[in-house]
Chains A and B, each alone.
Chain A
Amino acid sequence: MLTKRLIACFDVKNRMVTKATQFQNNIDIAPAEEIAETVYNAQIDEIIFYDIMASAEKRPIDLEMVRAVAKKVFVPFTVGGGIRSLEDMYQVLKAGAEKISIDSMAVRNPDIIRQGAEAFGRQCMVLSMQVKKVPVTEQIPSGYEIAIDGARTFTGMDAVAWAIRGEALGAGEICVNSIDNDGTHQGYDLEITKMISDAVQIPIIASGGAGKPEHLVDVFTKTGASAGIISSMLYSPKLPRNYSVEELKRELIQAGVPMRPYVPQEEY
């Protein structure tokens, strides 16, 4: 049976992983490849790195970082931030990443999704979207609006409509980041995660707000999400306690959620 995925997602700044709370106050944690190796050994299912300053500094993604991570991680990993062209995508994939995450760039130039999917296959293209709850209007019937540029600019675009368009353009996966829930540790935004997972056929990654194992159980049983981002639960000092991947998987399996079980290293 196809299992649900736990994804560790990290923001990288000058090759150091940082943790953002509602996209502000970045705190350094450790070099990217060290964190990657640690979570790989803990049997995380997948890893995402965002080169958070690449866009702002208008420079290409840090390919040395991608290469260093790719030598230590043997589960899929996705890279995002600062990707502006097909050539950028090619460089990132050749450096060893499996997937490319595009966010603000896709809003500015939706055709880049189509171009990327045609050149490298749609499974490479992760459409990441920042969503914020807003009053329902004619323009935004879902009540969720798309924001870009680190959630600083609002676009007037409806989140569900954008997801449907992204799928039609060739996205292979959609990551739904809740701006409201990010950093709160109060649980994922189940409403928008469900709306989008019902509206499209491609897999959905839920992001923003996980603080307890129950939040994962909720998102996997109450929405069609295929994966959940759990970064803070692994290491954030702001949580009352942290959880290991092993612990999370055990709890999820007990709750009836299909997961790739944690296997002690010596059994391989």
Chain B
Amino acid sequence: MITVIDYKAGNGPSVKNALDYLGIEAVLTADPQQILNADGIILPGVGSADATMESLAELNLLPILNEAVLEKKTPFLGICVGMQVLLSHSAEGDCDCLGWIPGQVQRFEEGVRIPQMGYNTVRFAGSHPLTQGLDEGYFYFVNSYYAKPELASDVEGVTEYGHPFCSLIARGNIMGAQFHMEKSGPAGLKLLARFAALCREGGSLC
């Protein structure tokens, strides 16, 4: 069972619809027990990093997520803002984030239309089970901010917008996509199905 975290700013229903369509068992909830017991956790994201962090704090989910992801090593996928909050700090609302992946989130510089909106190419490193054997694909982005992980080994996918930026993070059981897998047509659904397969396999990611 995959737990999709239900919080105010999230587009949880869209992620749940995509999992339903793929025939993957999932529940949309903010219940701590269902997060701790999940085979996999998805943090969907829409809106701003500071609002997302506030929302998670209000729901008392920060210690629960730390326990599930850092101690129990439950596979975790953050999408869009759900990926950005994996880093140490975001310039959006100047807020501290989960800090599981060292690095910063910053705004796209002048010279490109902001927000970036539309399908862009992601080139995969292919070094993580999530993307093994995949070369590149087109995925749907809506973002004004982007992640800058400190460690090159955390970068699993790269996209160009004004300059190359990290569009996919993967470190063991922690994954994060700047693009919307649930809204990128068949290419996105395929990655979501791969994440679900990793959740079923469990321990192999750690």
| Partner-B contacts on A (CB < 8 A) | 1-5, 40, 43, 45, 70-72, 74-76, 93-96, 98, 120-124, 172-173, 201-203, 224, 226-227, 260-261, 263, 265, 268
Contacts and interface: CB of A to CB of B under 8 A. Distances in A.
B185 A2 contact: no
Interface stretch (B17-25, B62-70, B94-102): B17-25
Nearest to B140: A76
B190 A268 contact: yes
B185 A74 contact: yes
A98 B11 contact: yes
Given A260-B185, A268-B186, 18 more contacts: A3-B120, A45-B118, A72-B21, A74-B18, A74-B185, A75-B184, A76-B142, A120-B9, A120-B47, A121-B9, A121-B46, A123-B115, A172-B142, A201-B113, A201-B114, A202-B114, A203-B117, A224-B113
B46 A124 contact: yes
Contacts of A260: 119, 138, 185
B118 A3 contact: yes
A71 B17 contact: yes
B185 to A, nearest CB: 5
A208 B17 CA distance: 32
A75 B117 CA distance: 13
- Leading 5 A-B pairs by shortest Cβ distance: A121-B47, A260-B119, A268-B186, A260-B138, A123-B142
Contacts of B188: 74
Contact of B13 (A43, A94, A227): A94
B187 interface: yes
Contact of A226 (B113, B161, B182): B113
A4 B118 contact: yes
Contacts of A123: 46, 115, 117, 142-144
Given A3-B119, A98-B183, A227-B118, A74 B113 contact: no
